[in-house]
Amino acid sequence: MKLIVTMGIRRLPSRPQPLQDLYRDHLEEAVLAEELGFDNVWASEHHFSPDAWNPAPITFLAALAARTARVRVGTYVLLLPLHNPVRVAEDIAVLDNISNGRVDLPVGVGSAPEEFRTFGVPFNERLGRTFEALRIIERCFAGDEFSHKGKYYNFPNAHMTTTPVQKPGPPIWVASMGDQSVAWTAR
């Protein structure tokens, strides 16, 4: 059985604390999780929340990877349609190198319309953007030069020079809720 710790890094109104303390405490909890034998520590992503959900899970996971030796680290979940997929592939490849191949990449389509509005991404495009981005990320992980012209993203002559330790790349997990996203994921 695999044991996973998911970290929804939040500053609760009932327990206000400086953000630097909040992040430090969560990093210490994650190190403890490794010491206790947990297999994975995943950090969530949310934006613009009054209780300070973590908007930068990959940055947090890099700090965690530098403090641990065995536990796998991953996003829970990365809101993929809000990100440039080539940048995600680069960031995950760097994280995979920092962690010596201990990265998982759980992604999701997102569910909070206000996050999409603020980033200027149409909420109704989230499924299509997610699955097009996944194809691009997989091509980036291969390390070969490629061009992509799609509905949402265009990358002429893309070539990622930082490739992940894990081949063909870190495991990608797709979070799905609802009939439409489950059907897309199954494809």
* Span of 69-83, 105-119, 130-144, 166-180 with lowest mean pLDDT: 166-180
* Span of 27-31, 33-37, 130-134, 181-185 with lowest mean pLDDT: 181-185
Q: Say which CATH architecture domain 4-186 belongs to.
A: Alpha-Beta Barrel (3.20)
157/4: higher pLDDT: 157
Distance (Å, whole) CA 74 – CA 72: 7
pLDDT of residue 2: 72
Q: Is pLDDT at 179 greater than 80 in this prediction?
A: no
Q: Is pLDDT at 10 greater than 70 in this prediction?
A: no
pLDDT of residue 182: 62
Q: Is pLDDT at 127 greater than 80 in this prediction?
A: yes
* Domain-wise residue ranges, the chain: 4-186
Strand 72-75 and strand 40-43: pairing? parallel
Q: Is pLDDT at 3 greater than 80 in this prediction?
A: no
Distance (Å, whole) CA 135 – CA 157: 16
- Nearest CA-CA partner of 128 in 79, 184, 187, 173: 184
181/55: higher pLDDT: 55
pLDDT of residue 178: 67
Task: Give the DSSP H/E element, type plus range, for residue 74.
Answer: strand 72-75
pLDDT of residue 180: 64
Distance (Å, whole) CA 141 – CA 143: 5
**Calculated CA dihedral for residues 94, 125, 112, 17, nearest 10 degrees:** 20
- In three-state secondary structure terms, 175 is coil
Note the pTM of the prediction, 2 decimals. 0.91
Contact between 137 and 89 under an 8 Å Cβ cutoff? The reply is: yes
Q: Is pLDDT at 181 greater than 70 in this prediction?
A: no
Residue 19's pLDDT band (cuts 50, 70, 90): confident
C-alpha to C-alpha distances, 137 to 48, 60, 80, 82, 107, nearest whole angstrom: 26, 21, 10, 14, 12
pLDDT of residue 53: 73
Q: Is pLDDT at 183 greater than 70 in this prediction?
A: no
Q: Is pLDDT at 135 greater than 90 in this prediction?
A: yes
